[in-house]
Amino acid sequence: MPWKRNQSLKAQGSRLKGKAAASHLQPRASSPKPFVVTIDGPAGVGKSTVAKLLAQRLGVMYLDTGATYRSLAFAAVRGDLNPITDRSRLAVLARRLRLVLQPTPEGGLRVRLDGVDITTHIRTEEVSEAAAQVSQYPEIRAAMVRLQRRLARRAWTDPRNGMIRRGVVVEGRDTGSVVFPQAPYKFFLDADPEVRARRRQQELERLYGSRPPLAQVREQLHFRDGLDRHRRVGPLVKPAGAIAVNTTHRGAVQIVRLMLTYIHQRKSVSSK
């Protein structure tokens, strides 16, 4: 799918940058071996919903690696960079990205770039397309992996009670294979393509108030799957040792129960 410039998005980004306020930085304390659960899979399989719920049940932070790529894509558009042709400048931007992820009481994430809240602005289709393009470059993926590992090591403040916590449930497409290959708990979600398309259509309707044609959503998913599965670095694969879960006929609560059972069983075995 060709990249299309979006002038309104660039103008929006410029206005946001101009209104930047002092950011609320997370504590920088780190743990050498953070508690990490990885959840990988293609779009539309329920990764975000499951990851947020699982993080709440475990009392750890939810970390969306896709938000890091989307934030970079947003910054690229704001800086008038082309995600296809400006590869070297994008790599520099990736290494300098000033990104802060803040947990919300509802279990989600507040995304701040240069002190500006861009949480909703990184969920547009234009940013999604740009993110799919910039994520293909090895030097950019390397910078994002370093950023994601730093975010996972940081202590964070639980917005529900003010307690300082550590540990993450991280979701993405290469979290168990590349970002955290040694994670003790790894899952890979998948679902029927038609179910994935309907879920993505419903998600877009919730975000923008209008429902795109299902055929269009299918085409976008097919395009993104091709990019994800065939890129040279960090392709979408089932990580070694990951538990495969088909979500076609399972709800989020049922899936989280399965995950918690597996995690508790692994913990019991390792503690003996």
> Do the beta carbons of residue 78 and residue 14 sit within 8 Å?
yes
Single pTM value for the model: 0.85
Query: Would you state the structure tokens that stand for residue 220, as one six-digit string?
Result: 């976008």
| Number of neighbours of residue 88 by Cβ within 10 angstroms | 10
Identify any residues that bridge with 172 across adjacent strands, giving them in sequence order.
40
Residue 9: its pLDDT value, please?
53
- Residue range 2-49, pLDDT digits in tens: 444 454 555 555 555 554 433 333 334 444 577 999 999 999 999 999
| Number of neighbours of residue 94 by Cβ within 10 angstroms | 24
| Vertex 137 angle, CA 174 and 4, to 5° | 105
Share of the chain above pLDDT 70, in %: 88
- The size of the chain, in residues, is 272
- By C-alpha distance, which of 107, 102, 114, 106 is closest to 26? 102
| Number of neighbours of residue 126 by Cβ within 10 angstroms | 18
* Whole-number Cα distances in Å, 116 to 61, 109, 192: 21, 14, 37
As a whole number, mean pLDDT of residues 61-79 equals: 95
Q: Measure the N-to-C terminal CA separation of the chain; round to a whole number of Å.
A: 52
Quickly state the pLDDT bin for 272 (edges 50, 70, 90): low
Report strand pairing: 109-113 vs 116-117: antiparallel
- From 20-34, 100-114, 118-132, 230-244, the region with the lowest mean pLDDT: 20-34
Burial of 77 (0-12, 13-18, 19+ CB in 10 A): buried
Residue 92: its pLDDT value, please?
96
Query: Would you state the structure tokens that stand for residue 216, as one six-digit string?
Result: 């269009």
Query: Would you state the structure tokens that stand for residue 90, as one six-digit string?
Result: 């994008």
Residue whose structure tokens are 């309104």: 8
Residue 148: is its pLDDT beyond 50?
yes
Write phi, then psi, for 211 (nearest 5 degrees). Answer: -100, 115
β-sheet with 36-40: strand ranges across: 61-64, 168-172, 36-40, 185-190, 243-246
- Residue range 205-255, pLDDT digits in tens: 887 888 999 999 999 899 889 989 998 889 999 999 999 999 999 999 999
Euclidean distance between CA atoms 48 and 234, whole angstroms: 19
Query: Which 3 state secondary structure label does DSSP give 211?
Result: coil
